[in-house]
Structure 1
Amino acid sequence: MRTIKTIVKDISFKTAGQFEETRFEKIHNEIFNNSSEASIIVAQEIAQLIKSKQEKNKSCVLGLATGSSPIKVYEELVRMHKEEGLSFKNVVTFNLDEYYPMTKENNQSYFHFMHQHLFNHVDIKPENIHIPDGSVAFEDLNQYCIDYEMNIKNAGGLDFQLLGIGRTGHVGFNEPGSHINSGTRIITLDHITRVDASSDFNGIDNVPKRAITMGVSTILRSKRIVLMAWGQNKADVIKRTIQDDITSEVPATFLQNHGNATFVLDQAAASELTRFKTPWLVGECIWTQELKSKAIVWLCQQTNQSILKLTDRDYNNNGMSDLLAAGDRSSYDLNINMFNVLQHTITGWPGGKPNTDDSNRPERANPAKKRVILFSPHPDDDVISMGGTFSKLIKQGHEVHVVYQTSGNIAVTDDEALKFAEVCNDYVADDECKVDFLSIINFLKNKSENQIDSLEVRKLKGLIRRRESHAAVRYIGLKDENTHFLDMPFYETGQIKKNPIGTEDINLVADIIAKIKPHQIFAAGDLADPHGTHEVCLNSIFAALKSLKSEPYMADCWLWLYRGAWHEWDVHEIDMAVPLSPDEVTLKRHAILFHQSQKDRVMFQGNDSREFWVRAEDRNKHTAKLYDDLGLAEYEAIEAFKRFQY
């Protein structure tokens, strides 16, 4: 199997003319379908390096990163050690960074992270492991950092440096303003970096303000560098790093100066690169219907014109002359076609309009009354993402079921749980029950840093989320018996880190589908959730549908994907746009506000400080404005969906 290294060797023999598609890019990068596939390739390159050094009886010096990006690389290395005999006895490691102050025993320390994900599972010698020590006395830090640099130099320098990237463009913890000549040092963390880490620490107030980090010059001296980035959240900084000029404001751009660096990206992280975002600006395109839609919407936004006002000159002046030339079409023909495509996505009948011609509608007219499953990864994604559509489906007479896939208990703060426990303790007269609540109260009041919640506390927090969900969907009009809670086991760790998806998780999803035999399934297609729960939940649905594909009722089941609190579908991706009236927007807002434990202090809000109801409302109104700007009907708000062919 090819490694990233062999890909680089292949490229060195290509001529400049073969790089037309990447002419905007200043760093070599490889794009993979998903992070799992990419991580395996990176792990294979590391394994080959270790083996080649072993054959020469030399040490292999690795610079290692932490965070979510390298986890699957470490999992694959562990697998190769256990199943293929890959030895780490000749490996010497130096980690990039560590929070300061931070003890090794703290679950949030990178010392803990590296042992949890790699070192505890392979045969590396403990004396060969080097991780910055976050407990060094402040007055000793300067000498400690000098010594760390000398240890790398004495080991022969870094043969391979694995990197992630932060939204600020940091590598290691080299924040904006870091100098190209900087060495290992203590640094103050950027506010954005601390916001991004806040969910790991249960709030930004608990995130350390400083860290020890290898410097930019230390990283650049590595013989080989691989930087990994996954997901839509990294797309903007990846574009700036790969395509813009070198600047200390985006420290990762210094990697443009390295002669043997590769960025390994999934499709979402690469999505803002010019060759993906606007390929017609790079070279000739194969004009599929999807690409035409994407280009024409972009052209409208570039020219600030509606679709039907675009002219031949607009197409020619913006790199789309070959689209006009294809099939000897005029701008008028292209405009009318695109206008009709978007017009046909709009419907006030998300379950299909009975007794009508459905040839130009996104959903089928029949059966007139459909069985519908709305899967919600967390106990509030349903109303946040499609509260208005949810309400329409009920009002229009469909048999709607909402299925909450996880308990959502880790998103309930200790203070919120304590409040409920104290209320219960004051109210319940039964002595046995009273003791139980007292034990919860005592646990929460005396909970130590990084202590995992007890089973009783997790159950209470789960019940808080459950009852909020019941209240929200009752307000929309759903019957209690049509509300289902799966409490999928992968989620129930009591920690932010979840278990891998298992057979039991998939079976729970498959069983509820088999029971209801739906005509429609709505599922969360928003994979920007900071801790990946949405992705795991969606994968469980895909696996369940695959297992049920031969069942007769599945031939009539359509899968619609919504996006939630993190991102929305681009206009050209939308297959069904459901308009909301002002009253429906208000109803949706009130339904979201029933989730009081998630209001005001959102524990896992990602890079958006707004409350979920505000995000949802702004996003829906923005989608409506995009449709209006393109020359279609003006609505108060629009919820958007994409049909997935499984």
Structure 2
Amino acid sequence: MSKQSILHQAAGKFEETRFEKIHNVIFESSNDASILVANEIADLIKSKQSLNEKCVLGLATGSSPIKVYDELVRMHIEEGLSFKNVITFNLDEYYPMEKENIQSYYYFMHDHLFDHIDILPENINIPDGTIDTDIYDYCTSYDKKIEKVGGLDFQLLGIGRTGHVGFNEPGSHYNSGTRTITLDYVTRADAAPSFLGIDKVPRKAITMGIATIRKAKRIVLLAWGINKAGVVKKAIEGEISSQVPATYLQSHNNTTFVIDTDASSELTRVKTPWLVTALSWNDHLKRKAVVWLSELLGKSILKLTDKDYNDNGMSNLLVEEGTAYDLNIKMFNVLQHGITGWPGGKPNADDTNRPERANPPKKRVIIFSPHPDDDVISMGGTFDRLVEQGHEVHVAYQTSGNFAVADTEALKFAEVCKFMSKSSSDVEAVINNIKNKEKNSIDTLDVRKLKGMIRRGESIAATRYLKVPDENVHFLDLPFYETGTVKKGKLTDADINIISKLIEDVKPHQIYAAGDLADPHGTHKVCLDALFMSIEELKSQKFMDDCWVWLYRGAWHEWETHEIEMAVPLSPDQVLKKRTAIFYHQSQKDGAMFQGDDSREFWVRVEDRNKLTAQKYNNLGLADYAAIEAFKRYIF
């Protein structure tokens, strides 16, 4: 099936520019995009069935294709889509890796797809991570087997932050075939959460080569989230280079990148559309353009000139606005009005140009925290301000966070309990479960409870430090999270109802929630989806008319300056107070399990981010603050 099929079904979503070298389609929702890709695969399968031919699919693993597989399974169960004529070849597998290991791609594929459809077992091909002799011959035979069945009709890909497709890391050759490869540190760091630590991630893998992939008749690459934005830009707009292996796809004549809004955010036509085409300017684009120009030229906004705008593709903006002086003043004031030391609104003040309402002067507030430390990490200073300024602040920890507690940390607490307890048989059982835990096994329920209680105790200590009454701290323990493994369950009515009940009980004037969308299957995104579903159910109720929702970002990313609608400056003392609140979450300090490829501790990372945000505001010509926390309003 050609790229025109996606173009036809996604009409108006693609506009080719001189910067782009690979066909791509941008979607607001990764779910919608995944369903469209699944439909293309299903149409191909049925087309081949009508010709009594085999359909040969190259399949990928990781979080990106999960929804595609979910939709294919749904079509099999509900619509009778048969896979009996399908032959599959997976891209890669860790090496060494046993099939039964829950981190293996063999396990992943069966868990997400093969166990739920009618594909013939003999038609499933996944690289063998246990092969220990003649690996070269094995890899060569894998390519020959693909050729023997007529080649790949369709290849599904994801993309790693190193630019790898499959496990073809930087340096991979254009003509490479299936082979073993040493994994890049960034790739291993990204996989670390699944393995409960980077030290447990294999250093090698077996992967289809670039040449093997490029022989596919049709290639679709999926990329979701802000984490992929930089490498997506390099792959689509950069020169072909072995340092970004995905760029090799530029020379394939039937490749489409299917990406969501966040993953597209660095593309020229998205980030700086005025460099691509004439625009119909709105307030959002004007703000974005002025901030970009100021940062590009290293000038404060009020120093930008007519020539600066004309030289950088914005002459038609000046035609609308009159002069650079008029535009500069307007945009400077917009940014200035977003800065406030009163995140809950300033009582008895004119709120015409303030981000929050003055009334009611004392608000009921719920801070939703996906994990039991996101509240203080991401908005600890604002949290403190809200409490100090007399608002009724509630904190809702959406998940237990037990999965992020290391066994060594849990063992320490269990042994303290044993020392303190006169009847220690239950505690002894927990200790034995931790000490005798087999590789890749799931924690017992009692161990998970212990880890959850560790996170609870830390959270209560932090909220008490910030002077929140214990009765205003809510541990929701959403059911979707409580699987004991990296793979979480699907959202259900049970999750939504828990959130809805809290909102109905509190009737908040403000809700704060984590707006991190880097991974569509990550906990932050699932927690945000659950909140949005709850709000959708409740929005017709009268009290919701007075409820505003503010989104904060996590430890990894901040809102772009032009996106920020409320900027809360922090004094040096508040920066230190925020740091202390984070320190109460001791199990997540000193080598937390899920730090990614950033070796800085969370408190250092977020302080640096808050300081950088303040520096950006100062560079634009605004006041000089020690740090700034940023928020974007969600309109429902």
TM-score range normalised by the length of the shorter chain: over 0.9
Q: Does 2:368 match 1:375? A: yes
Superposition map of 1:78-89 within 5 A: 78-89=73-84
Superposition map of 1:224-303 within 5 A: 224-303=218-297
1:345 corresponds in structure 2 to 338
1:68 corresponds in structure 2 to 63
2:328 corresponds in structure 1 to 335
2:544 corresponds in structure 1 to 554
Confirm or deny: 8 A CA contact 1:4 1:45 kept in the other structure: no
Give a deviation string over 1:480-507, Cα, whole Å, max 9, x none: 1111110010000001110011101000
DSSP 3-state at the match of 2:416: helix
Q: Distance in 2 between matches of 1:182 and 1:146?
A: 11
Give the residue type in structure 2 aligned to 1:341.
Answer: V
Give a deviation string over 1:2-26, Cα, whole Å, max 9, x none: 99551357999x9xxx997522000
Q: Does 2:201 match 1:211? A: no
Superposition map of 1:110-509 within 5 A: 110-137=105-132, 139-327=133-321, 329-429=322-422, 431=423, 434-509=424-499
Q: Give the TM-score normalised by structure 1.
A: 0.97
Cα offset, 1:608, TM superposition = 2.6
Cα offset, 1:607, TM superposition = 3.8
Give a deviation string over 1:455-513, Cα, whole Å, max 9, x none: 00000000000000011111111111111110010000001110011101000000000
Give a deviation string over 1:271-310, Cα, whole Å, max 9, x none: 1000000001111111110110000000001111001000
Give the residue type in structure 2 aligned to 1:617.
Answer: E
Q: Distance in 2 between matches of 1:335 and 1:21?
A: 32
Q: Distance in 1 between matches of 2:571 and 2:323?
A: 37
1:620 corresponds in structure 2 to 610
Confirm or deny: 8 A CA contact 2:93 2:104 kept in the other structure: yes
Give unmatched runs, 5+ long, in structure 1. Answer: none
Q: Distance in 1 between matches of 2:404 and 2:293?
A: 41
Which residue, 102, 114, 117 being the options, matches 2:97? Answer: 102
Cα 1:529/1:131, change in 2 over 3 Å: closer
Which residue, 579, 591, 594 being the options, matches 1:589? Answer: 579
Q: Distance in 2 between matches of 1:539 and 1:624?
A: 30
2:29 corresponds in structure 1 to 34
Cα offset, 1:247, TM superposition = 0.4
Which region of structure 1 is more displaced relative to structure 2, 32-41 or 605-614? 605-614
Which residue, 77, 80, 101 being the options, matches 2:72? Answer: 77
1:579 corresponds in structure 2 to 569
Give the residue type in structure 1 aligned to 2:197.
Answer: G
Cα 1:530/1:197, change in 2 over 3 Å: farther
Confirm or deny: 8 A CA contact 1:21 1:282 kept in the other structure: no
2:506 corresponds in structure 1 to 516
Q: Distance in 2 between matches of 1:623 and 1:395?
A: 23
Cα offset, 1:604, TM superposition = 1.7
Cα offset, 1:531, TM superposition = 5.6
Cα 1:3/1:382, change in 2 over 3 Å: farther
Confirm or deny: 8 A CA contact 2:224 2:520 kept in the other structure: no
1:543 corresponds in structure 2 to 533
Cα 1:76/1:312, change in 2 over 3 Å: same
DSSP 3-state at the match of 1:200: helix
Confirm or deny: 8 A CA contact 2:3 2:254 kept in the other structure: no
Confirm or deny: 8 A CA contact 1:21 1:283 kept in the other structure: no
Give the residue type in structure 2 aligned to 1:76.
Answer: E
Confirm or deny: 8 A CA contact 1:568 1:640 kept in the other structure: yes
Q: Distance in 1 between matches of 2:83 and 2:454?
A: 47
DSSP 3-state at the match of 1:199: helix
Give unmatched runs, 5+ long, in structure 2. Answer: none
Q: Distance in 1 between matches of 2:526 and 2:538?
A: 18
Cα 1:20/1:382, change in 2 over 3 Å: closer
Q: Distance in 2 between matches of 1:3 and 1:639?
A: 46
Q: Distance in 2 between matches of 1:134 and 1:11?
A: 39
Q: Distance in 2 between matches of 1:146 and 1:201?
A: 29
DSSP 3-state at the match of 1:262: strand
Which 4+ residue blocks in structure 1 deviate beyond 4 angstroms? 2-5, 8-12, 18-21
Q: Distance in 2 between matches of 1:101 and 1:493?
A: 26
DSSP 3-state at the match of 2:193: coil
Which residue, 616, 619, 632 being the options, matches 1:629? Answer: 619
DSSP 3-state at the match of 2:99: coil
Cα offset, 1:146, TM superposition = 1.1
Give the residue type in structure 2 aligned to 1:503.
Answer: D
Q: Distance in 2 between matches of 1:3 and 1:370?
A: 55
Cα 1:9/1:382, change in 2 over 3 Å: closer
Confirm or deny: 8 A CA contact 1:88 1:122 kept in the other structure: yes
Confirm or deny: 8 A CA contact 1:310 1:335 kept in the other structure: yes
Cα offset, 1:389, TM superposition = 0.7
- How large is the Cα RMSD of the aligned pairs? 1.6
Q: Give the TM-score normalised by structure 2.
A: 0.98
Q: Distance in 1 between matches of 2:138 and 2:108?
A: 22
1:7 corresponds in structure 2 to 6
Give a deviation string over 1:393-447, Cα, whole Å, max 9, x none: 1111111111111100000000000000001011111x2xx11110110010010
Give a deviation string over 1:160-218, Cα, whole Å, max 9, x none: 10000101111111110010110011111111111111111111111111111111000
Give the residue type in structure 2 aligned to 1:518.
Answer: P
Cα 1:397/1:529, change in 2 over 3 Å: farther
Cα 1:58/1:561, change in 2 over 3 Å: same
| Identical pairs, percent | 67
Give the residue type in structure 1 aligned to 2:366.
Answer: I
Cα offset, 1:551, TM superposition = 1.4
Give the residue type in structure 2 aligned to 1:396.
Answer: Q
Q: Distance in 1 between matches of 2:223 and 2:4?
A: 17
Q: Does 2:35 match 1:45? A: no
Confirm or deny: 8 A CA contact 1:5 1:45 kept in the other structure: no
DSSP 3-state at the match of 2:19: coil
Give the residue type in structure 2 aligned to 1:493.
Answer: T
Q: How many residues matched?
A: 636
1:91 corresponds in structure 2 to 86
Confirm or deny: 8 A CA contact 1:20 1:283 kept in the other structure: no
Confirm or deny: 8 A CA contact 1:453 1:494 kept in the other structure: yes
Which region of structure 1 is more displaced relative to structure 2, 246-255 or 602-611? 602-611
Cα 1:600/1:128, change in 2 over 3 Å: same
Confirm or deny: 8 A CA contact 2:567 2:629 kept in the other structure: yes
Cα 1:11/1:475, change in 2 over 3 Å: closer
Give the residue type in structure 1 aligned to 2:22.
Answer: I
Confirm or deny: 8 A CA contact 1:308 1:631 kept in the other structure: yes
Cα 1:47/1:5, change in 2 over 3 Å: farther
Q: Distance in 2 between matches of 1:643 and 1:55?
A: 51
